[in-house]
Amino acid sequence: MKNSFKNYAVCKDSPKWNNAISRLTPIETKSSDIRTPFDRDYTRIIHSNAYRRLKHKTQVFFSPENDHICTRSEHVTHVESISYTISSYLGLNTELTKAIATAHDLGHSPFGHSGEKILSKISKRDLGIKFWHEKNGLDFVDYIELLEGHDGYKKNLNLTYGVRDGIISHCGEINENSLRPREEFIDLNNYLKPNQYAPYTWEACVVKIADKISYIGRDIEDAITLGIIDDHLQELYDLLNYNSSEKLNNSTIINHLVCDLCENSSYEKGLCFSENALNLMNKIKDFNYKHIYFSRRTLTSIKYFELVINEIYDILKQCYDKENTLNNILKLGKFYPKLSCGFYSFLENYCDIPNREELKLRNRIIFNISDEQDFSKAIISYISGMTDNFAMEMYNEIIRF
């Protein structure tokens, strides 16, 4: 029902407002600034390097020659569009959903979920913890991404709690038919696994659902465009009870699910679909896993991803030698100049080095590279930020003479 959540939106009258707009440290403000806290977050996000790199990161289909196949950047835009439609209709804060949706996948590794699984295997082996892109996204906006201030110094993004919570809480792998926010204002570093807690705001709940609506619809459209599911189209038509004489595309699926969600959600019931729509969405998801995500055509490239990521990691990890580590990275430049220079420059931003003032760095120091586990974390963080293209370029530098 239209505006049915208006009284529960994160606004200045909301009991969650002060918590939602709080930041880890005070932010520089100007008396002339006309932006809201969440609007400021949005502009900080779209000016970050992690956001720029999304255009060269895999969504589902690796390195498509067709320019119209979805990349991670387009997926983020789709989620923002869907979450805006839902939040606007329900009367929620669209500036908050816009910022969360735009930032929600900043922690994704190269090569999509396959790359995430490879990095997670490395992380569990060497650090004893799982790598997951929602947590990595929070780490990126809290510690990795830097913006140059008016004083010329580079500082952390320092986003609001409401946006940071939406990033780490956005896991779209949900099957329950009622989503509502938690009341607790928790330390987000207490997250140990995806989907451990419900989001803090209704707006973040909207993005969580919009993420799922977005990918199940667009992935089918891309698979049709690429001819991957040609042999299964009748199965899909039967599943959707769809007239095959009409065009099946992303908007067909999204429109049905968005309208159903808006019609069936209420404060009492939470954000929910009708039983028919939920069953349909889960059937579409099963279809996608069977014929798209786990298809031989899609899985063939995983061995290549493993080669690329593991080789980059192993080459950098062999540089570790306590206090000699930085020198070893520089020596690596004899054979791998771009990898050596890139990783060294990355580390300069986050380690306690003598020339931080010269480099105009006023961000948090997060790595002690004399510690082996910290050094491993730094490598994983560096690789996770790479685009597909850059990771392949580094691998090619490693293997060529």
Output the pLDDT for position 360.
Answer: 94
Please tell me whether residues 379 and 267 are part of one structural domain. Answer: no
Please tell me whether residues 334 and 318 are part of one structural domain. Answer: yes
Domain count, the chain: 2
Residues spanned by the domain of 29? 6-106+145-298
- Helices and strands in the chain, H and E counts: 18, 2
Helix (H) or strand (E) holding 156: strand 154-156
Please tell me whether residues 216 and 334 are part of one structural domain. Answer: no
Please tell me whether residues 178 and 37 are part of one structural domain. Answer: yes
Segment 181-191 shows an average pLDDT of: 96
Segment 77-103 shows an average pLDDT of: 98
Output the pLDDT for position 244.
Answer: 52
pLDDT > 70: percent of the chain: 97
Please tell me whether residues 270 and 292 are part of one structural domain. Answer: yes
- At 267-290, the pLDDT tens digits run 999 999 999 999 888 888 999 999
Residue 131 counted as domain residue: no
pLDDT at 183 over 70: yes
Please report, as a single letter, which amino acid is at residue 195.
N
Residue 328 counted as domain residue: yes
Output the pLDDT for position 245.
Answer: 53
Mean pLDDT of the chain: 93
pLDDT at 168 over 90: yes
Please tell me whether residues 52 and 196 are part of one structural domain. Answer: yes
Distance CA 390, CA 103 (A): 21
Segment 353-361 shows an average pLDDT of: 90
pLDDT > 90: percent of the chain: 79
pLDDT at 64 over 90: no
Output the pLDDT for position 87.
Answer: 98
Residue 126 counted as domain residue: no
Segment 76-83 shows an average pLDDT of: 96
Residue 14 counted as domain residue: yes
- At 231-263, the pLDDT tens digits run 998 888 888 776 555 555 667 788 889 999 999
Of the pLDDT bands very low, low, confident and very high (cuts 50, 70, 90), residue 318 is: very high
CB 261 within 8 A of CB 268: no
Please tell me whether residues 30 and 174 are part of one structural domain. Answer: yes
Segment 321-328 shows an average pLDDT of: 95
Please tell me whether residues 74 and 184 are part of one structural domain. Answer: yes
Helix then strand then coil, in percent of the chain rounded to 5, is: 60, 5, 40
pLDDT at 371 over 70: yes
Segment 312-331 shows an average pLDDT of: 96
User: What angle do helix axes 337-350 and 388-399 make, rounded to 10 degrees?
Assistant: 130
Please tell me whether residues 356 and 231 are part of one structural domain. Answer: no
Query: Of 263, 298, 333, which one is at a domain's C-terminal end?
Result: 298
Distance CA 257, CA 253 (A): 6
Token pair 């789709």 in the structure block, residue: 78
Q: Domain holding 57: CATH number?
A: 1.10.3210.10
* DSSP string over 332-396: GGGT-HHHHHHHHHHHHHHB--TTTTTTTB-S---B-TTSHHHHHHHHHHHHHT--HHHHHHHHH
Distance CA 108, CA 116 (A): 7
Output the pLDDT for position 31.
Answer: 74
Output the pLDDT for position 241.
Answer: 75
Residue 135 counted as domain residue: no
Q: Please name the residues in contact with 91: beta carbons below 8 A apart, sequence gap of 6 or more.
A: 2, 3, 4, 5, 6, 7, 9
Segment 132-145 shows an average pLDDT of: 98
